[in-house]
Structure 1
Amino acid sequence: MPASLRPQLWWIWPVAVGAVLALQLWFPDSGTGVLHDTYSPTAEGQKAYYRLVEEYSAITYRNTQPLVRILPQNNLEPTLCILGPERWPTTQEWNAILDWVESGGELLFAFRGFEEQTIPRLNIRYTPRTGSAPPDDSLPPETDLLLSKNVAWWTDGKLLAPHSEVLVKYDGATQAVAGAWGDGRYVVCATSLVFSNQLLTYGDNPILALRLLERTSHLEGVTFDESLNTTGTPKAAGLLFDRELRPLTMQLILIILLYGWWNFRRFGPLLKPAVGGRHNIVDHTDTLGAAYWRSRDGSAAVR
């Protein structure tokens, strides 16, 4: 690099090192890689609903830890929201969730997708709609959760829950149910779109979305689970910035920056050459000839 450019670029290295050191102390929240999580500001994202619940709940936060590890320790707030997860919970995860509800937890769960699913032990089945014709979005939902009819409901399926209380119906199909399980309660919805950013901008939909949560929660503390979205999204380089590997990644970046800075601009005075300069072969012959001349024995060179 030309020497004239170095004084103009030297400040880049200390700024980059300082930024990496700052990121060791604070790292911005990043999404899970899906468009319908509580980080996403897109139309089907749920960031607006997360902010809405924050206004009414004493404590609101996101969980990214595995449910099978954190639920038995009872380290979550009283209400757990799992809204349209990218990955369907395993049998082990469902057992952990329902055991937690049975011991007094509160669950708000919303289905998503076009595959038939069943919640074990609760006897609740989700059936996606059939046919290519879209549902009639002009129909208002049937519900006693609020008096206003200025609400919309978008769904891709229906629920079959014979042992649960029906909260919302749409076009004759069951859309949301509630019930008790042990010492806890649950609310299950056939769609997560009712919690989306786009639907929360329509009429009294924010009230409806909040009333669904209130049927199972006293809003003392709400946890939005993102672990099923995180583990359901394929990641490559993103793994390096997960909570567990992030400190090691930042330290490796810091070492690389320091190495680049060290080679880009010298620290301290120049060192003396470790090996002396090379001599011309003529210097050797001149020195040898002078030695023969001083010894008065020039004929030795031809003997």
Structure 2
Amino acid sequence: MKSNMARLNNGMTIPIIGMGTFSFENDYHITHNAVQMALKLGYNHFDTAQVYGSEPALGAALRDSISRGAVERESLFVTSKLWGSHHHDPVSALKRTLMNLGMEYVDMYLVHWPVRMKPWVSTPYAKEDEFENLDMETTWAGMERCLEMGLCRGIGTSNFSCKKIESLLDHASVVPAVNQVEMHPMWKQKKLRNYCKDHDIHVSAYSPIGGPGNFWGSTAVVESPVIRSIAQKHKATPAQVALRWGMSKGSSVIVKSFNEDRLKENIGALSLKLDNKDVNEIERMEEWKIMRGEVYVNQTTSPYKTIEELWDDEI
């Protein structure tokens, strides 16, 4: 198996670096052009979600490249996600995603958050009266149905704690192949990584450099003196060091940039090698979770009354 791939529990392989396509502006042409640029640079793993609004642009860019013979569908790895307002019917939600993408299947379909909302909620920010009781047994049965129908090649979770995965495994016929979570040198997810390793669940890292380009993100990771010092030592960039650290833990990293130089920089992390001293220095860095999910916590309608409940004290 190539060193830039990881093996999943269902026999699939996942490229260890992927391009995220969430954009606050969600400009179709910018996303379309960035994806085609990424393909030329060697990216073949693309991450989207129905709530991102980027599925149509991503799908069109990939189809254009496939039709020109520049890439084959089989060499691509496309992930999308089930939004909270579609927990009642994952099959219909995935069919809509496939229509948006113009594809017959996605490679991975994830439950975006352990949060269920009213069916009409279409934004990332649910109002207090838009939550419903979470019923993961029903939701996961729908995800398994998507798999049985061939609408996806694998199913998994996103933003699930050890405890939430454990509850899921109590009734799941199919073990999640992937759990996608925030993970970077300042939020190492050691407990979760160990738990997922014990259950053969691949951890995929979003915001692997701290999400500095997002309105909720931080530059703390790339501005860390430890990360900068290691980057200088290897004639690399801080972003490359952060990405290589994530890969060194057996995780795939989903990094979002639509800038050509940054896309080149990010994929360049594949050729960086960190030594034990580097890794030990990173292990000693302070921990700080950036994406806390406060919007999914309230005292009345959410199943989570506190941030600690949302993450099961893994925060």
Structures share a fold, TM > 0.5? no
Bigger relative contact order (CA 8 A; separation at least 6): 1
TM-score with structure 1 setting the length: 0.30
